[in-house]
Amino acid sequence: MHIEVIEQPITFDLYGLSAFVQNNDYAKTGKRLMDELWKVIAANKLPHKGINIWAYFANHEMMTAVELKQAVDLTGILEHRMIQLERYAYSKHVGSYQLIPKAYSEMENELAKRGLKHTVPMLEVYGHWQEDERKLETELIWKV
């Protein structure tokens, strides 16, 4: 697994929905939040960049979100969170979403070998959908 540690700030201007994950079932919670999020985006005709982002925070909180093409006041409709990371580990997972937990383990092990610890927030930036699961791309971005 190729991992880069980047020491150049990156910012995510996220609009989405969050929840506390029950029973460590992040996939189920994330799917539910994504389904709700896309209904809100469609109902409000929000111009977005088309990329799904899942963000993980302390205490089993997660957010599914998108970046909008322009800032909009969505108070009471969607949450707005600006996430800026000064130093982070970056890796690109190519393959089935079901293999992301394995990529997490590999990334955690590689960071430990380098004497690095990660913390929250952690983000998954999903590339555009591909019918062929082997070509799916997910960027893993962890604060270190």
Looking at this protein, which amino acid is placed at residue 54?
A: W
* Dist. CA 111–CA 8, nearest whole Å: 18
- What's the whole-model pTM score? 0.93
The class (CATH top level) of 4-143 is alpha beta
Looking at this protein, which amino acid is placed at residue 116?
A: L
What is the predicted pLDDT for the residue at 129? 82
What is the predicted pLDDT for the residue at 96? 93
Would you kindly state where each structural domain of the chain is located, as residue ranges? 4-143
Count the neighbouring beta carbons within 10 Å of the beta carbon of residue 14: 22
The confidence band for 128, taking pLDDT boundaries of 50, 70 and 90, is: confident
Handedness of CA 44, 48, 50, 55 (dihedral sign): negative
Answer whether residue 83 shows pLDDT above 90: yes
